Amino acid sequence: MKKKENELEKTQPTKPTVRKIFGTQQISEDDALSLVGGIVEKGFSDNSQFRSTGPSYAPRPTVLPFPVARHRSHGPHWSAKVGGSNGIDDEDEEEEQDFTGMNMAATFANPVQRKEKKGLDFSWLRETVNNNGGSVPHEKKRQGYLIGSNEWKGGKEANYKNSDGSGRWILTQDDAPLTRADFDAKEKDVTMEDKVSIIPEEVKEKRQDVLAMAIDDGQSNFKHSAAENFVQTKERPRSGIIEDREGIKGNIEPQLLNRPIKDIDVDMEMQCRPTTHFDSSFGYDKLVDKQAATSLESQIDLENRARLEKMSSDEIAEAQSEIMTKMSPKLINALRKRGQDKLKKQKISVSDMGSNGSSGTEQKEKNLINEPAMSGASSSSHDVQKAASADSLIDKDNKVVPNLSSKGSSLWDSWSKRVEHVRDLRFSLDGDVFKPDFAQILDAGTKQVHSGYSADNVSERDFLRTEGDPGAAGYTVKEAVALTRSVVPGQRALALHLIASILDKANCSIYQHQVGCNMKFAESDESIDWEAIWAFVLGPEPELALSLRISLDDNHNSVVLACAKAIQSVLSCDINESFFNISEKIPTYSQDLFTAPVFRSKPDIDSGFLRGGFWKYNTKPSNILRFDEDTIDDKSDGEHTIQDDIVVAGQDIAAGLVRMGILPRICYLLETSPSPPLEECLISILIAIARHSPTCAAAIINCDRLVQTVANRFAANEQIEIYPCKIKSVKLLKVLARVEKKNCIMLIKNGIFHKVTWHLYRYPFSLDQWVKSGRDVCKLSSALLVEQLRFCKVCIQFGYGISQFPDLFPSLSIWLNVPTFPKLIENNVIIEFAAITKEAYLLLDALASRLPNFYLQMHQGMEVNAEDTEVWAWSQVGPIIDLAIEWTKVKSIPYISGFLDWDEAGGYFILQDSEVNCLLWIISSVMHMLSNVLKAATPDDVKSLYNGHVPWLPEFVPKIGLEIIRNGFMSFSGVNGMASDDNTAGSGSFLGYLCHLRQKSGHETSISSTCCLHGLVQVVASVDKLIHLAKHEFQNASAEYQNFTRDDKILAEGIFHSSLVELGALLSSFMKLISNGWQCIQSIEMFGRGGPSPGVGVGWGSPGGGYWSTTTLLAQQDARLVMYLLENTQNAFAKDLLTDEEVCFTMQRINSAVKACMIAGPRDGAVVDKLLDILLQVPVLKHLDFGIRRFLSHREGFRPFGWKYEEEEYLLFANVLSTHFKNRWLSVKNKLKTTGNHKHVNCKRHKKGSLPLETIHEDTDRPLTVGQGPTSLIMEWAHQRLHLPIHWFLSAISTIQYEKNIDIPVDFVEIARGGLFFLLGIEAMSTFVAVEFQSPVNNIPIVWKLHALSVTLLGGMGVLEEEKSRDVYETLQDVYGKVLEKFNMESLYFQSEIHESYSTFIENLVEQFAAVSYGDVVFARQVAIYLHRRVEAPVRLATWNALSNARVLELFPPLEKCIAKGDGYLEPVEDDERILEAYVKSWVSGALDRAATRRSATFTLVLHHLSSFLFENVCDSTRTLRNKLARSLLRDCPRKEQRQNMLMKLIQYKKSIPCAEPISDVASSLQICLGKRFQLLKESCEGN
């Protein structure tokens, strides 16, 4: 780099000349330049040295303009040094000077550059995707690129060939080196780290090489006379352009110039790369016209250097004059046009360049330097050495490259490209992206030279909008960030506003996307890639966190406010809040989620490399809190630099901000009584931080005075008036209380709780008063009351404040009543009212779950609980139930009663969505409350009851039941003999309506209707259960039974039972919904780190909000309902023999249970648990078995098993599998290890705090049972495994040893047997299910399935030793073999798909095979699959080598018996040198001897591939290898008779399949063939 600097400066003196050369158009460049250069920002020294040489030079920094945090890698020292070392202007000495300077510089340059690169690099993100260990892949890639460049050139030549004159050839030649240079650039990207150190020497060498190369290759490469020029003048191709242009400018037509490039059919990437250069060279011409000064300067400079270094002064003068005279405007136009075409595609390469160095200019120069050298090098290594026609090899290499870069990493590449692309985007002040119009394109073109500014050298640049063109509109992200450190407060505020609006825009747009539509982002220009923008802004490169933190310390209020707003957007407060708001409305969720970004731990071999490890925080929790310790400890101060903070912030921006001490600052700001907007912002920031992670929440609690200050500010203005920030304060306190029980106690004891909830206890004013107070007041007070009620709810969930309920009740009761709707509607406050009511019922819901068991209490009297928590008393429940029942009379509630008149045909009157929605929420919370009460009224232990019946039924039970029946919640159309149309005539039921709403409405209404349904079903089930328990009374009075009304009869028979048909319909419609849902959810997790972007965005920046979207929430809600319905309709499984339809239906049920498992999120542990219980029970397994049998008997090529599973076996499988799956996927990682000397008390406490989270795995939906409250109401993503990965059920067979710390001895063989059976069952099932219910098992890549089968064997042979599981195993192999044959295009990427060290796994597997298998056929088949031609080469090679070394090549069955057809192993013919060599090696070493006698598949493989390689594809490119192989085969042969036979076989080998010709023909042709072959062998031995 430094060297580049050198050169850059050295060429300065020549500048004036050049300007003369190119300044064809009387430009007053000087004016422009002086204009730009003339603006001197404060803090920049006006370096006279540079000024004198050229005013255009950007000022050199001596002082940093703003107290920017400095790291030793920052700062101007290096540029200063360089500046000092080269004062030499002598052109003749230049070259030598360069080299020495370069070498000197190299020693300095390395560390600096490397450090810098680290900052810019995104690669830390991809850890899990691809841990790029060795340099081998790099090497590979580079080769690939070089070859690619050759090819490209080749293509180009071909294109030119048919066009006429020799003139065009010149262009070809020009282009080819250019492309090479581009590939160099790319290659540099790849190997950047090593490169930095290498480059200088390389450059030097290459310089010298140029001569030789150019001469060597002159004939082969450059056939035109221009090449002679090239050689003679020792000139760069670049200058060659100029000269060539002179020669040809006469006859080149613009169209022709344009055409070839478009024609060239190379792939996109390749096409993109060349463009950079075109645009630099042609854009340059343009620039001359446009007088774009700043970039011009470097362009010229670049040209300069390239030319002048090799030209004598005479030549210069000559060229000058020639160009001046000969360049026609027409040509310029043509060139420009072409440049523009290319510019549109050039962005990628631009960003590449930018990322490479601190300045694009330098990068560019480097390219130029390497360019001729590299072209020489590449031609020497490939063209010369391998002769002209090395096509096949090159092809192969090219193919290898994409193979090596795994799917994951190619995904990654495209993603990082997208992110890099953002670098160039310019934003207007309101956050919009400026569409690059023509002028913009030009800017982009010029900018690429300049765009590489980082925080280091931003000061070298002129201020404000100065990336290249002062005329460009808008700012790039980095400009904006840099501008936050401006000396002018206004600019800082402006920049912060800009950043905030960009982030807001990004956030909104991301949120609007479709969940799961990841990565399909076409590089189309019309849509803006907001995800990438989000990722880039938050990413490590712009160092946004640091700037924000600094700005928060600003002493200008406007800047602080702007900064707070920006931080608010960074933490995406608003959108996250709206998510949490909805999530809190859902009665079934008592827990929130922490928002801290997490990623999955890497899969390891013990778990069979299966994905879906424990989540881990992006930032270690211990890294978040640093300042506490360090302020005490002076020593450690030195160790921590701001760089560490930046690293943390790069991983997780919220954590970074906390680490940088944002909390004390916020506390201080709050204490200084800020303006209301600022206060609001600050509190939202605090909320976001409190939601971030336990550690951050603890940091807030522990921050001195912070909580107290918030509370004081709430109480300070005691007026009745409500400010938004008050609402937020309550919310903050609520969130803090939720985090930990301890906090909640603390808040209550401090009196803060009472201070902030006093509104609740206020005089019970009437509803009229409330309504009259005006809409705005209603709104605010509603919001406040909701928050306060939620706060109360939290306390109650922890078991506090229940005794205060009697005080609370009077004021609550006005909300609990069904209001007089007209008044509310009139004043338009129905939504506000409903919000409070809903929340009040949710509070009651929480209370109800604190009820002691009704019967328990009755028998034993009041029992004082040992805990300090309180329980609710039944005595208070009565009136509340009455109130709630009022709400269930839906017919009397306007709006809702309208639903009942709804019918399918439409025509129900349409309400505003939001109003329906809020009423639905009320009903859903009422329902849940009732169901909780009913649950408490249900005796725990049925058997202990007298007669198995309850002695008496609380009267509210039948009451609720009757209300439900009467109000048409269900239609009961299936009730026998009943006139179903007495009062529900012509109408659907409420249930049907909800179902309809779920399918047709927006997200929130869908969620609320799903919740409603869930609540309804729960209530119905509970009522039924209770009535069933009390039924004997009815039975006794059978005489009366006849006289019952319809409603009573229904009640007696069970509501559930009466409406089975309806519920069935409900279930199937939700099963459909689920099958859309799960793919959505599964597609969210694309990268290892939870989502594409770091930070705490919505869903961590994944489109549509990812996991944090209502879509996800809805899907999870659906899954819950499905789970509940499945659970309650289980008896369908009980039946034994089935018709086709029934089979189909049960399969669907199983299927949807599997899918529902995959939807469940981190909060749904209980759901998954239940689902597993449902899935893994004996009847279901029987159905699976039934399915398998049908499958086997109906499919071709499979034979049914000759045995049957016994009842005990089903039981065993069910037990083993369910314990396995639960342990594997639902276990919570316990961090019991105390973290060393860590003094963080709260940290530790937190780790302990995560233990009781296991309570969620209890069987109840609501973990809150009396006496054992959880210590936290917020779930962590970290330390657990949900969401399940798509292949979760493979875990049973591919687990070797999953938990070291689980003491229970687990019989893995049993698990594996069960798993195999289950897998085959699901596979078989998937064939019966209708297409729209696509089974998840079909979506698992075949690689994973094959891999899982192998892993089973790694653990031991147990599976194969047992007859039944052996058969199942073999069947699975056959099934997958069929799949392989069917999709014979896709390759099996074991290495890139599953694990990068897959070869090690293979070696272990082969070792196992060699040691204990006794040559088992099934095992051998499994191993042989790795020799399949579609397996990627490294894995195949590793397999072969391992087999050969272990001498087990003979243990394979004949090829026909392997998995899938033999053709797959033989075709296409092997072309990987290493594998062919390995074949010969094992031939020679004798490892194949026995394989030959036993006709094992391996020998056939070798025969086929070797003979086709040696005898059939005879071409020169492979001659050396062929000769080598043939020689070693022949040399080996005389020693042993056995080998001679083998050789004979090899020579006579002919693939047996196409044998249709008459035998005599075959024989004769064989004779000829043999003759040829012998001849060939003779040749290859060269007479030896």
3-class DSSP assignment, residue 1265: strand
Q: Residue 1144 or 1410: which CB sits closer to other proteins?
A: 1410
Element (H, E) at 599: strand 598-600
φ/ψ (deg, to 5) at 427: -120, 145
Q: Minimal distance in Å, beta carbon 1441 to other proteins?
A: 17
Of residues 855-894, those binding other proteins (CB under 8 A): none
Distances (CA, A) of 548 to 294, 428, 493, 575, 1466: 30, 20, 11, 20, 61
Q: Minimal distance in Å, beta carbon 1542 to other proteins?
A: 17
How far, in Å, CA of 1216 to CA of 1310, rounded?
Answer: 7
Q: Residue 637 or 1363: which CB sits closer to other proteins?
A: 1363
- Over the window 1474 to 1493, marking each residue x when it contacts other proteins by CB under 8 A and - when it does not, the resulting string is ----------------x---
What is 1205-1219 written as a DSSP string? --HHHHHHHHHHHHH
How far, in Å, CA of 11 to CA of 309, rounded?
Answer: 9
Tally Cβ neighbours within 10 Å of residue 384.
Answer: 14
Of the listed pieces 85-93, 611-619, 1402-1410, 1510-1518, which binds other proteins according to CB under 8 A? 1402-1410
Scanning the structure block, which residue is given the tokens 């819950």?
1120
Query: 1354, 1405 in Cβ contact below 8 A?
Result: yes
Q: Residue 620 or 1490: which CB sits closer to other proteins?
A: 1490
Tokens describing residue 621:
């929790």
Number of helices followed by number of strands (H, E) in the chain: 77, 4
Q: Minimal distance in Å, beta carbon 970 to other proteins?
A: 59
Q: Residue 212 or 1412: which CB sits closer to other proteins?
A: 1412
* Beta partners for residue 1431, in sequence order: 1388
Q: Minimal distance in Å, beta carbon 1460 to other proteins?
A: 25
Q: Minimal distance in Å, beta carbon 1535 to other proteins?
A: 16
Q: Residue 523 or 1407: which CB sits closer to other proteins?
A: 1407
Element (H, E) at 616: strand 615-617
Query: 127, 1088 in Cβ contact below 8 A?
Result: yes
How far, in Å, CA of 582 to CA of 605, rounded?
Answer: 40
Q: Residue 71 or 1447: which CB sits closer to other proteins?
A: 1447
Q: Minimal distance in Å, beta carbon 1578 to other proteins?
A: 34
Q: Residue 866 or 1411: which CB sits closer to other proteins?
A: 1411
Q: Residue 818 or 1412: which CB sits closer to other proteins?
A: 1412
Per-residue burial over 1276-1299, b if 16 or more Cβ lie within 10 Å, else e, is bbbbbbbbbbbbbbbbbbbbbebe
How far, in Å, CA of 239 to CA of 306, rounded?
Answer: 7
Of residues 752-811, those binding other proteins (CB under 8 A): none
Of the listed pieces 318-326, 981-989, 1238-1246, 1409-1417, which binds other proteins according to CB under 8 A? 1409-1417
Residue in 1414, 1456, 1554, 1556 binding other proteins, rule: CB under 8 A: 1414
Q: Minimal distance in Å, beta carbon 1416 to other proteins?
A: 9
Residue in 154, 898, 1415, 1453 binding other proteins, rule: CB under 8 A: 1415
Question: Within 13 Å, how many C-alpha atoms sit on residue 423's CB side?
Answer: 31
Running DSSP on this structure, what letter comes out for residue 13? Answer: G
Site size toward other proteins, by CB under 8 A: 14
Residue in 79, 299, 1413, 1444 binding other proteins, rule: CB under 8 A: 1413
3-class DSSP assignment, residue 593: strand
Q: Where are the beta strands (DSSP E) in 1224-1383?
A: 1274-1275
φ/ψ (deg, to 5) at 462: -75, 160
Collect all residues with Cβ–Cβ distance below 8 Å to 860 and sequence separation of at least 6. none
Please state the separation of Cα 1087 from the chain's center in Å: 3
Category of 1184 on φ-ψ map: left (φ > 0), alpha (ψ -120 to 50) or beta = alpha
3-class DSSP assignment, residue 617: strand
Name the pairing type of β-strands 598-600 and 1274-1275: unpaired
Of residues 1490-1549, those binding other proteins (CB under 8 A): 1490
Q: Minimal distance in Å, beta carbon 1442 to other proteins?
A: 13
Query: 931, 1011 in Cβ contact below 8 A?
Result: no
Q: Residue 840 or 1360: which CB sits closer to other proteins?
A: 1360
Tokens describing residue 1384:
């014979």
- The torsion of the CA quartet 1157, 1160, 1163, 1166, rounded to 10 degrees, works out to -30
Residue in 256, 777, 1410, 1469 binding other proteins, rule: CB under 8 A: 1410
Q: Minimal distance in Å, beta carbon 1488 to other proteins?
A: 12
φ/ψ (deg, to 5) at 556: -100, 125
Residue in 63, 136, 1302, 1412 binding other proteins, rule: CB under 8 A: 1412
Closest CA to 673 of 721, 735, 723: 723
Q: Minimal distance in Å, beta carbon 1370 to other proteins?
A: 16
Establish if 1361 lies at the interface with other proteins (CB under 8 A): yes
Collect all residues with Cβ–Cβ distance below 8 Å to 1 and sequence separation of at least 6. 105, 109, 112, 113, 196, 357, 358, 362
Establish if 1356 lies at the interface with other proteins (CB under 8 A): no
Q: Minimal distance in Å, beta carbon 1349 to other proteins?
A: 21
Closest CA to 1156 of 1188, 1191, 1118, 1189: 1118
Q: Minimal distance in Å, beta carbon 1346 to other proteins?
A: 23
Q: Residue 1412 or 1515: which CB sits closer to other proteins?
A: 1412
Q: Residue 909 or 1203: which CB sits closer to other proteins?
A: 1203
Q: Minimal distance in Å, beta carbon 1291 to other proteins?
A: 25
Return the amino acid letter for 321.
S
Q: Minimal distance in Å, beta carbon 1294 to other proteins?
A: 21
Q: Residue 1172 or 1451: which CB sits closer to other proteins?
A: 1451
Q: Residue 289 or 1407: which CB sits closer to other proteins?
A: 1407
Closest CA to 91 of 20, 21, 7: 7
Q: Minimal distance in Å, beta carbon 1411 to other proteins?
A: 3
- Over the window 1277 to 1296, marking each residue x when it contacts other proteins by CB under 8 A and - when it does not, the resulting string is --------------------
How far, in Å, CA of 885 to CA of 868, rounded?
Answer: 32
Of residues 1434-1463, those binding other proteins (CB under 8 A): 1446-1448, 1451
Q: Minimal distance in Å, beta carbon 1447 to other proteins?
A: 5
Q: Residue 155 or 1415: which CB sits closer to other proteins?
A: 1415
Q: Residue 835 or 1451: which CB sits closer to other proteins?
A: 1451
Query: 1060, 972 in Cβ contact below 8 A?
Result: no
Of the listed pieces 443-451, 787-795, 1412-1420, 1560-1568, which binds other proteins according to CB under 8 A? 1412-1420
CA angle, 1087 as apex, 1081 and 1088 as ends, to 5°? Answer: 110
Establish if 298 lies at the interface with other proteins (CB under 8 A): no
Establish if 1407 lies at the interface with other proteins (CB under 8 A): yes
Q: Residue 1493 or 1567: which CB sits closer to other proteins?
A: 1493
Of the listed pieces 277-285, 856-864, 1372-1380, 1404-1412, which binds other proteins according to CB under 8 A? 1404-1412
Establish if 1400 lies at the interface with other proteins (CB under 8 A): no
Question: Which positions touch other proteins (CB under 8 A)?
Answer: 1361, 1407-1408, 1410-1415, 1446-1448, 1451, 1490
